[in-house]
């Protein structure tokens, strides 16, 4: 007896439904995709001012006073450091460069031994000064990017003078 | 004359490379999608800086406060039109942190995302409001200038 072997049927998967859903997923992800700018932080530790009795034992850090004065529309007018030097320039970046150089000079000089070698910057900023100028000030005292791309750190301790009263 | 009829066949393109590619694209977008955007107010234009460092690790507990130029504070999509009205929110956040094991409010990271045109006095007012609840670890958020 002769047995005829039936040719096996080719099994075909139905791909249409899968491709449909895969494309829908792809469109969803493309539409919801958002390019987010890289963000970073300036960390500032600011406890409420402790009483003078609590601070007797602590070595007080040497202080650099930086005053940022606002001009029209909240733009930066000038920078005064330690009440001694005032930087005025039409170019805002030039004022911040001068501040950066001042802090660098100060750190390169002798630091009062009673300060424990620590330097602190106290910002006295006008209420109306735009925040971007404050950040530039913090950046100028925090460090500088060297030509080789590395960062030279300057002052890490920062505090603000209370200027929360809105000018009349 | 005799014509020979050829067998008609269904032409099927090879879909394998296209499906491979599509799955790779889906995988790419799935990895990059970020659902944690809820706490960021996109309308806030952060000041730019080169020196700020991206946080190395997520703090144990963080409070992200978005400050607009008019003094409105946004927290998880909810707007507070005055900084003075933040007290209940900050208290509840300090309590939530304590429940999650961060008992010292000084260890809570307060991330301030302020618009670049906000008067600095308002930022200071916000900081002082947080200090009233014994929060002292502040992170002033900026965007990378090169981006």
CB contact under 8 A, B115 and A163: no
Q: Say if residue A114's pLDDT is above 70.
A: no
Report how far residue B91's alpha carbon sits from residue B105's, in angstroms, rounded to the nearest whole number: 10
Give the pair of three-digit tokens for residue B12. 């099927």
CA nearest A121: which of A151, A81, A93?
Answer: A81
Question: What does DSSP assign to residue A84?
Answer: T
Contacts of A163 in chain B (CB under 8 A): 120-121, 124
Backbone torsions φ then ψ of A10, nearest 5 degrees: -75, 130
Backbone torsions φ then ψ of A124, nearest 5 degrees: -115, 100
pLDDT on residue B102: 87
Q: Which residue of chain B is at minimal alpha-carbon distance from A142?
A: B51
**Among residues 67-96 of chain A, which lie with CB inside 8 Å of chain B?**
68, 74
* A-B Cβ pairs (cutoff 8 Å, strict): 158
CB contact under 8 A, B140 and A138: yes
User: Which of A36, A127, A135 faces B119 most closely, judged by CB atoms?
Assistant: A127
Contacts for B18 with CB less than 8 Å, ≥ 6 apart = none
Rounded to an integer, the average pLDDT of A116-122 is 77
**Three-class secondary structure assignment of chain B:** CCCCCCCCCCCCCCCHHHHHHHHHHHHHHHHHCCHHHHHCCCCCCCCEECCCECCCCCCCCEEEEEECCCCCEEECCEEECCHHHHHHHHHHHHHHHHHCCCCCHHHCEEEEEECCCCEHHHHHHHHHHHHHCCCCEEEEEEEECCC
Q: Say if residue A56's pLDDT is above 60.
A: no
CB contact under 8 A, B46 and A139: no
Contacts of B119 in chain A (CB under 8 A): 74, 127-131
Task: Write down the pTM of the prediction.
Answer: 0.77
Q: Say if residue A167's pLDDT is above 70.
A: no
Say what the ipTM of the complex is: 0.77
Tell me the pLDDT tens digit for each residue of A120-150. Answer: 888 999 999 999 999 999 999 988 888 888 8
CB contact under 8 A, B47 and A131: yes
Q: Give A10's pLDDT tier (boundaries 50, 70, 90).
A: confident
Greatest mean pLDDT among A34-48, B11-25, B32-46 lies in B11-25
């Amino acid at each position: 007896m002769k047995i005829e072997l039936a040719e096996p049927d080719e099994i075909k998967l139905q791909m249409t439904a899968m491709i449909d859903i895969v494309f829908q997923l792809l469109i969803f992800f493309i539409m919801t995709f958002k390019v987010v700018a890289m963000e970073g932080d300036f960390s500032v530790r600011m406890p409420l001012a402790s009483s003078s009795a609590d601070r007797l034992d602590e070595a007080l850090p040497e202080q650099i006073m930086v005053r940022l004065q606002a001009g029209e529309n909240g733009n930066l007018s000038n920078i005064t450091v330690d009440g001694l030097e005032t930087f005025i320039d039409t170019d805002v970046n030039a004022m911040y460069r001068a501040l950066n150089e001042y802090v660098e000079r100060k750190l390169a000089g002798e630091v009062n031994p009673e300060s424990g070698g620590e330097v602190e910057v106290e910002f006295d900023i006008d209420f109306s000064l735009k925040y971007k100028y404050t950040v530039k000030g913090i950046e100028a005292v925090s460090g500088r990017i060297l030509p080789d791309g590395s960062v030279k750190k300057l002052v890490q301790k920062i505090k603000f003078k209370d200027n929360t009263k809105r000018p009349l | 004359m005799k014509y020979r009829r050829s067998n008609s066949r269904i032409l099927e393109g090879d879909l394998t490379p296209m499906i491979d590619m599509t799955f790779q694209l889906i995988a790419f977008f799935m990895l990059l999608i970020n659902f944690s955007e809820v706490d960021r107010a996109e309308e806030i234009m952060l000041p730019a800086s080169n020196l700020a460092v991206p946080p190395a690790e997520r703090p144990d507990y963080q409070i992200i406060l978005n400050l607009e130029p008019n003094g409105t504070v946004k927290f998880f999509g909810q707007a507070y039109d005055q900084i003075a009205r933040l007290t209940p929110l900050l208290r509840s956040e300090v309590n939530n942190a304590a429940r999650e094991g961060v008992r010292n409010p000084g260890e809570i990271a307060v991330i301030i995302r302020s618009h670049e045109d906000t008067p600095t006095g308002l930022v200071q007012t916000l900081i002082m409001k947080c200090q009233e609840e014994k929060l002292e670890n502040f992170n002033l958020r900026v965007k990378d200038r090169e981006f």
